[in-house]
C-alpha cells in the first residue's frame, strides 16, 4: 500500500514526496489500527454484557416452570424467552463483528482497502443499521408487553393507552439520546479518518496529467 501511495500525484500534477507519503500512510494505518482495536474492545464488552443478560433471562424463564407466576404465566414465559433470545443473538452478532475486526487485512491493495474502510467508518452502515433496526423493533415490542404486564400488576388504574404513550416516550427519548451521543462520538473519532480515506480515494482516481 505504501508503495502505491508514493505514486499518487497532487492536483496540480506534482508528484508527492515519496518519503512523506510513506510516513503519512504509516501514521494513517496506525491510527486506523488503534481505532479498530478500540472498537473491538468496546464490542467485546457489549458482547459479555449481552451474553450475561441472555443467560439471566433464560434462567428466569426456567424458574417460571419451577415456580409459576401468579398471573399470566404464559405471558411471562414469552417475554423472558424473547429477551433471552434477543440478548443471546446480540452477543452472537457481537462475536461475529469482533472476529471481523480482528481479521482486517491492512496489507491488501490500497483501492480495496480504502473502500472497505469507507464502508466501515460511515456513520450509517446499511448492514449494521438493518440489524440495529431489527433488534430495536423486537426489543421495543417485547418491552411493551413486559411494561403492560407490570402496569396491570403495579398500576392497575392507568389505562393501556396512557401506559403505551409513556412507554413510547421513554423509548423515543432513549433512541434520540443514543443517536446524539453516537453522532458526537463518530464526529470526534471516525469522521476525520473517513475524510482522509475519501481524500486518498480521490487522489487515486485522479488521472495522471
Assess contact for 144 and 164: CB atoms under 8 A.
yes
pLDDT value at 32 more than 90: no
The total of structural domains in the chain comes to 1
Q: What is the DSSP letter of 166?
A: H
pLDDT value at 51 more than 60: yes
pLDDT tens profile 81-122: 999 999 999 999 999 999 988 888 887 787 788 888 888 888
Sequence-ordered list of residues with C-beta below 8 angstroms from that of 129, at least 6 positions apart, any chain: none
Q: What is the pLDDT of residue 53?
A: 94
C-alpha 45 chain-centroid distance: 12
Query: Please, which residues bridge with residue 9 across strands?
Result: 15
pLDDT value at 8 more than 80: no
| CA–CA separation, 156 and 183 (whole Å) | 39
pTM, full prediction? 0.78
| CA–CA separation, 58 and 81 (whole Å) | 6
**Percent with pLDDT over 90 in the chain:** 35
- What is the pLDDT of the chain when averaged over all its residues? 82
Average pLDDT value for residue range 135-149? 89
Query: Please, which residues bridge with residue 64 across strands?
Result: none
| CA–CA separation, 141 and 135 (whole Å) | 10
Interior CA angle at 122 toward 203 and 51, to 5°?
140
User: In angstroms, how far is the first alpha carbon of the chain from the final one?
Assistant: 22
Reported as type and span, the H/E element at residue 31 is helix 18-66
Name the residue range of residue 175's domain.
Answer: 2-205
Query: Please, which residues bridge with residue 15 across strands?
Result: 9
Amino acid at each position: 500500500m505504501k508503495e502505491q501511495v508514493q505514486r499518487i500525484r497532487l492536483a496540480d500534477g506534482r508528484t508527492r514526496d515519496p518519503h512523506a507519503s510513506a510516513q503519512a500512510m504509516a501514521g494513517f494505518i496506525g491510527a486506523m489500527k488503534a481505532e479498530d482495536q478500540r472498537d473491538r474492545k468496546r464490542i467485546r464488552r457489549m458482547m459479555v454484557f449481552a451474553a450475561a443478560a441472555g443467560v439471566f433471562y433464560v434462567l428466569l424463564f426456567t424458574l417460571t416452570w419451577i415456580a409459576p407466576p401468579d398471573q399470566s404465566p404464559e405471558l411471562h414465559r414469552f417475554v423472558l424467552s424473547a429477551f433471552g433470545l434477543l440478548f443471546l443473538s446480540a452477543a452472537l452478532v457481537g462475536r461475529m463483528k469482533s472476529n471481523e475486526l480482528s481479521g482486517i487485512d491492512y496489507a491488501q491493495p490500497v483501492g480495496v482497502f480504502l473502500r472497505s474502510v469507507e464502508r466501515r467508518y460511515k456513520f450509517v452502515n446499511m448492514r449494521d443499521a438493518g440489524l440495529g433496526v431489527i433488534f430495536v423493533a423486537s426489543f421495543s415490542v417485547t418491552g411493551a408487553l413486559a411494561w403492560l404486564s407490570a402496569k396491570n400488576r403495579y398500576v392497575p388504574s392507568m389505562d393501556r393507552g396512557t401506559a403505551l404513550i409513556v412507554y413510547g416516550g421513554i423509548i423515543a427519548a432513549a433512541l434520540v439520546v443514543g443517536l446524539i451521543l453516537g453522532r458526537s462520538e463518530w464526529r470526534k473519532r471516525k469522521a476525520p479518518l473517513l475524510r482522509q480515506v475519501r481524500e486518498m480515494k480521490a487522489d487515486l482516481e485522479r488521472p495522471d496529467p
